[in-house]
Chain A
Amino acid sequence: MFLRRVQVPDFRVLKDVDITFEPEFSPHIFPIGSLNGGGKSTLLQLIFILLSCSGDSEKHFLIQNMLDEYKLSTESEQRLISFEIENENEIVKLDFVVYPDNLYSNLANTDDFRLSIKPDHIIEEEYLKFSSLQELKFLKEKISELESTIQIFSTALDNIKEAINTENLDEREKIISDVVERLRKSHRIFMLNSNFHSPFYLRQAIESLIKPSKKNKELLSNNKSDNILLEIENKLEYYKNQLVQANESNNKIENCNVMILDCLKTKKLSFICNFNINPNENGALLLRINDGNNVDLMSFLKKISNKIFLAAPPTQIFLFTSIESRKLLFKQLDSDYNSAIQSLKNRLSNFFTYDFLSVDLLIEAFKFARDRDFKEKIKHGEYGNYYGNLLNELNSLLGNKKVNFDEDFAGVNFQIDINGESRELYPEDLSHGELKRLGIYMWLKQRQIENSIVLMDEIENAFHPDWQYQIISDLIEWEKSNQYILATHSYELCQALTPAHIKELEPKLLPSKQVKN
């Protein structure tokens, strides 16, 4: 997988960006330079989020965060970003475009759309918008839920009626108890009157059905709705009405959606998700896969989501966190922002921050190696060398220092050999740069990042200039098959490559005074 070209006409600080990465170059490492605030980090994050999250609706909220309050300057299609990606000797061209949510005023005024309207279709303008695709999805989920609820309540009602007609009290009790248990298990019990949540009231209600004694009736007489039979009958009626309404809405939206989807199809567009332009207005993100590509879009998006990675300093502002999380950085408790980042990392396995020491990654890698050794023993009768090899690799990375693990794998410690004598090192004895280098190595190895596009922001931070230069050779040695795109300010790092490898986000000229006025 190789990113050949990226174009961003206008996104936040990025203006008229057009960068080409040459697949014939060696190595596949491309630093990107710009002035401070020139948009390097924004570019890496935009690439990462769109390519890693578009194919997974569970992650669309990250795209929505990234595009929050994105300014749509026109009423027509606006290109957000374009990619040319080399995949198995084929070049796939992807255009992410945005539209205002109101489809009717844009796409619907085209001939393609008008021609696609069928005579028997009633089009309601209020649904002619991209968000109705999402609305339809929610509506279908609601209909499915309603149908299921109605089915459960109908069965419950039938069973209760059967119980009431049963003369044997024990059998009657069993049927009623089973009904209540089924309602409880299906979580529908909570849809009934709140008093039924109380074991006491529920018991009384059951008792009143099983043994309709005077005492039980008196206990429940204060609130007739407490009668479980009546309650279920009422709820059943209510949900049936809801279902009728939902089906009506569904039919209307579905008609419109057929139009919308037909129209998108003619324009070779796929809907990804909505996002906020402002608190009252939505935009829609769509994706166009260009002519000539016999690639199934969804399977390609899934594939590339596993082949795109982002590494960045934890102190970076991540635009794909929610605006509320970002605002926490200006509060006293910035640890809340760190928690938000940690939570994101748990959901986005391809996202890595250069933490002080990725102990969890180290331990995970060594546990994995230990388990592989053990499997070898079971399979071939002898333990494998994975653990030993990994330890040797790490120690050669650390020079005269050695890493050891606590027996219970709860932590790590480091030792240094000086003139044949071994001394334990404290965290302060290890430089930030050493730990960062170790962390990057472990990340690439443990996540098995190969043949991928690896975006790395400010990789040089905490590195001595010599190490800034050396990190290029390290990346080649650690995993040559990747394409690395490095946002950097380091001249030293660039010197390890040729000037042709370097890409630049050029500052744009300011408009003339006439235009400003």
Chain B
Amino acid sequence: MGLSAEELEQHCQQILEDRRIKDKIVVLCEGEIKDVDGRRTPQAYKRMEQMPDANFYKKCVPKFWNDKPRPQFFNCGNRKDVVDTYCKLRQLNDTQESYINIEKLFALVDLDIQLHKINNYHYSDTEQIFNALYKETQTRKQAASKHFIWVTGLIHKEAYFITPDIQSVFNDSLLDPQYENDLILLEKLYLKMCHEIIKDLDLKNNYTQVINRIDYCEYLDCCDIEILITSWENEFKQAIIAVDEQRIRELVFLLLTIRKAKEYWNQIEPASYWSSGTERFREQLSLEIGEFYSKQDWNNPDNHIAFFFKTLHEFA
């Protein structure tokens, strides 16, 4: 269930009247809307049962972003709510005073399996935005500055939690993350994700549309799901044997563009001695991952998140 018209209006009013956004980049993202009750104090933050999802993106803001005010992030609900909030804010800004600078307003939503239609925007749906923003596994440098509603280059935000780069975060983490009661080996996870593609009904039903995202790849046979699974697995195993890091990364990105990642992120669990709840564990691990992304080279379009912020920085 998304926001009702009344809730959307109220949510937008809260953003427009928030003094913290004055002259700053504002990023709307997915996640449960959590209003702070009363003053914004450490005690109020502590009382939140869960960390706001936007805190991951906040943590990803590159280290290089130290000469201008950092962006302000707002959780806006699900993907539809984020897009609706963006459109509503533009509309309200035309008719009322606010602290927002509409040229500095951005939205970032998950690509997901199904496309989401957008009205009154220069791209009609999320799939179009994806195609305009990304070429193969890279962000298109030239196109980036034309986008105010961004979609992730991978299927979900959570896909960025399990990219090959993140293996080093898992290895070094004090949190001692585990997968199937053992240290995490992402290659094992990717193979499992590939084998279980067949179980994804959503993907099956939208296969024709989704496969367009990766059909540029000449060495993968995408003619149907089962063939794709075999083709991907063979290519992946060969790349591992050949220690071809570039090919491995490319294959994983292809997989994470079409295969839902949240359920696999949720299979990453704390060690047995952890006593503070799995959600607390994942929140902390996601911040460590955010810290990793904040140090990535933001000039490199391979680095989707860092490059997104570099684009925003030019508007700041």
Among A24, A27, A502, point to the contact of B46 (Cβ < 8 A): A502
Which residues on B sit within 8 Å (CB–CB) of A22? 275-276
Tell whether B219 is near chain A: CB-to-CB under 8 Å: no
Q: Is the CB of B45 within 8 A of A491?
A: yes
Which residues on A sit within 8 Å (CB–CB) of B41? 33, 489, 491
The interface on chain B, measured as residues whose beta carbon lies within 8 A of the other chain's beta carbons, has a size of 39
Tell whether B183 is near chain A: CB-to-CB under 8 Å: no
Closest residue of chain A to B282, judged by CB? A498
Q: Which of B48-56, B80-88, B110-118 is found at the contact surface with chain A?
A: B48-56
Tell whether A490 is near chain B: CB-to-CB under 8 Å: yes
Please report which residues of chain B, range 9-62, place their CB below 8 angstroms from some CB of chain A when the two chains form the complex: 20, 36, 40-51, 55, 58-59
Contacts A494-B45, A499-B50; is A26 near B173 (CB within 8 Å)? yes
Tell whether A25 is near chain B: CB-to-CB under 8 Å: yes
A 479-517 binary contact with B (CB < 8 Å = 1; else 0): 000000000111101111111101110000000000000
Q: Is the CB of B70 within 8 A of A33?
A: no
Please report which residues of chain A, range 420-474, place their CB below 8 angstroms from some CB of chain B when the two chains form the complex: 465-466, 469-470, 473
Q: Is the CB of A24 within 8 A of B275?
A: yes
Tell whether A283 is near chain B: CB-to-CB under 8 Å: no
Q: How far is A476 from B67 in the complex, measured between Cα atoms in Å? A: 21
Q: Is the CB of A466 within 8 A of B70?
A: yes
Which residues on A sit within 8 Å (CB–CB) of B66? 399, 470
Among A32, A466, A493, A495, point to the contact of B69 (Cβ < 8 A): A466
Tell whether A322 is near chain B: CB-to-CB under 8 Å: no
Interface of B is mostly: loop
Among B42, B51, B274, B284, point to the contact of A31 (Cβ < 8 A): B42
Tell whether A338 is near chain B: CB-to-CB under 8 Å: no
Which residues on A sit within 8 Å (CB–CB) of B173? 26
Q: Is the CB of B55 within 8 A of A399?
A: no
Which residues on B sit within 8 Å (CB–CB) of A470? 66
Tell whether A34 is near chain B: CB-to-CB under 8 Å: yes
Q: Is the CB of B284 within 8 A of A491?
A: no
Q: Is the CB of B42 within 8 A of A26?
A: no
Which residues on A sit within 8 Å (CB–CB) of B49? 499
B 253-294 binary contact with A (CB < 8 Å = 1; else 0): 000000000000000001001111000100111011001001
Contacts A489-B41, A491-B41, A491-B42; is A26 near B51 (CB within 8 Å)? no
Which residues on A sit within 8 Å (CB–CB) of B280? 498, 500
Closest beta carbon of chain B to A401's beta carbon, Å: 12
Among A34, A399, A476, A495, point to the contact of B45 (Cβ < 8 A): A495
Q: Is the CB of A491 within 8 A of B40?
A: yes
Q: Is the CB of A25 within 8 A of B284?
A: yes
Q: Is the CB of B42 within 8 A of A500?
A: no
Tell whether B174 is near chain A: CB-to-CB under 8 Å: yes
Q: Is the CB of B276 within 8 A of A33?
A: no
Q: Is the CB of A469 within 8 A of B276?
A: no
Q: How far is A490 from B45 in the complex, measured between Cα atoms in Å? A: 10
Which residues on B sit within 8 Å (CB–CB) of A493? 42
Q: How far is A489 from B283 in the complex, measured between Cα atoms in Å? A: 22
Q: How far is A24 from B278 in the complex, measured between Cα atoms in Å? A: 12
Q: Is the CB of B276 within 8 A of A499?
A: no
Q: Is the CB of B43 within 8 A of A26?
A: no
Q: How far is A26 from B276 in the complex, measured between Cα atoms in Å? A: 12
Q: Is the CB of B43 within 8 A of A504?
A: yes
Which residues on B sit within 8 Å (CB–CB) of A497? 287
Contacts A473-B294, A499-B51; is A26 near B45 (CB within 8 Å)? no
Which residues on A sit within 8 Å (CB–CB) of B270? 24
Q: How far is A34 from B44 in the complex, measured between Cα atoms in Å? A: 10
Which residues on B sit within 8 Å (CB–CB) of A399? 66-67
Which residues on A sit within 8 Å (CB–CB) of B47? 499
Q: Is the CB of A488 within 8 A of B291?
A: no
Closest beta carbon of chain B to A128's beta carbon, Å: 47
Q: How far is A450 from B175 in the complex, measured between Cα atoms in Å? A: 19
Which residues on B sit within 8 Å (CB–CB) of A476? 291
Closest residue of chain B to A476, judged by CB? B291
Q: Is the CB of B46 within 8 A of A503?
A: yes
Q: How far is A244 from B93 in the complex, measured between Cα atoms in Å? A: 94
Q: Is the CB of B44 within 8 A of A491?
A: yes
Q: Is the CB of A499 within 8 A of B40?
A: no
Q: How far is A499 from B173 in the complex, measured between Cα atoms in Å? A: 19
Q: How far is A497 from B46 in the complex, measured between Cα atoms in Å? A: 10
Among B70, B175, B276, point to the contact of A500 (Cβ < 8 A): B276
Please report which residues of chain B, range 279-312, place their CB below 8 angstroms from some CB of chain A when the two chains form the complex: 280, 283-285, 287-288, 291, 294
Interface centre among A31, A500, A504 (most CB of B within 10 A): A500
Q: Is the CB of B273 within 8 A of A24?
A: yes
Closest beta carbon of chain A to B95's beta carbon, Å: 30
Which residues on A sit within 8 Å (CB–CB) of B273? 24
Which residues on A sit within 8 Å (CB–CB) of B50? 499
Closest beta carbon of chain A to B131's beta carbon, Å: 34
Which residues on B sit within 8 Å (CB–CB) of A31? 42
Q: Is the CB of A26 within 8 A of B55?
A: no
Contacts A473-B291, A498-B51, A498-B284; is A25 near B276 (CB within 8 Å)? yes
Please report which residues of chain B, range 207-251, place their CB below 8 angstroms from some CB of chain A when the two chains form the complex: none
Q: Is the CB of A34 within 8 A of B276?
A: no
Q: How far is A350 from B57 in the complex, measured between Cα atoms in Å? A: 37
Q: Is the CB of A24 within 8 A of B276?
A: yes
Which residues on B sit within 8 Å (CB–CB) of A491? 36, 40-42, 44-45
Q: Is the CB of B284 within 8 A of A504?
A: no
Which residues on A sit within 8 Å (CB–CB) of B285? 26
Closest residue of chain B to A500, judged by CB? B280
Q: How far is A473 from B55 in the complex, measured between Cα atoms in Å? A: 14
Q: How far is A494 from B43 in the complex, measured between Cα atoms in Å? A: 9
Which residues on B sit within 8 Å (CB–CB) of A26? 173-175, 284-285, 288
Interface centre among A26, A476, A503 (most CB of B within 10 A): A26
Q: Is the CB of B70 within 8 A of A504?
A: no
Closest residue of chain A to B66, judged by CB? A399
Q: Is the CB of A498 within 8 A of B69?
A: no
Among B45, B176, B284, point to the contact of A502 (Cβ < 8 A): B45
Q: Is the CB of B42 within 8 A of A494?
A: yes
Q: How far is A496 from B49 in the complex, measured between Cα atoms in Å? A: 16
Q: How far is A25 from B42 in the complex, measured between Cα atoms in Å? A: 18
Which residues on A sit within 8 Å (CB–CB) of B283? 498-500
Closest residue of chain A to B55, judged by CB? A495
Which residues on A sit within 8 Å (CB–CB) of B51? 498-499
A 19-41 binary contact with B (CB < 8 Å = 1; else 0): 00010111110011110000000
**A-B residue pairs in contact (CB < 8 Å), sample of 11:** A22-B276, A24-B276, A26-B284, A27-B174, A28-B174, A33-B41, A33-B42, A33-B45, A491-B42, A496-B287, A499-B50
Q: Which 8 A-B pairs have the closest CB atoms?
A: A33-B42, A502-B46, A491-B40, A26-B174, A498-B283, A494-B45, A499-B48, A466-B70
Which residues in B have some Cβ–Cβ distance to A below 8 Å? 20, 36, 40-51, 55, 58-59, 63, 66-67, 69-70, 173-176, 270, 273-276, 280, 283-285, 287-288, 291, 294
Other than the given A498-B284, A499-B51, 13 more pairs (CB < 8 A) read A24-B270, A26-B175, A26-B288, A33-B42, A33-B46, A469-B58, A473-B294, A489-B42, A491-B41, A494-B42, A496-B287, A498-B287, A504-B43
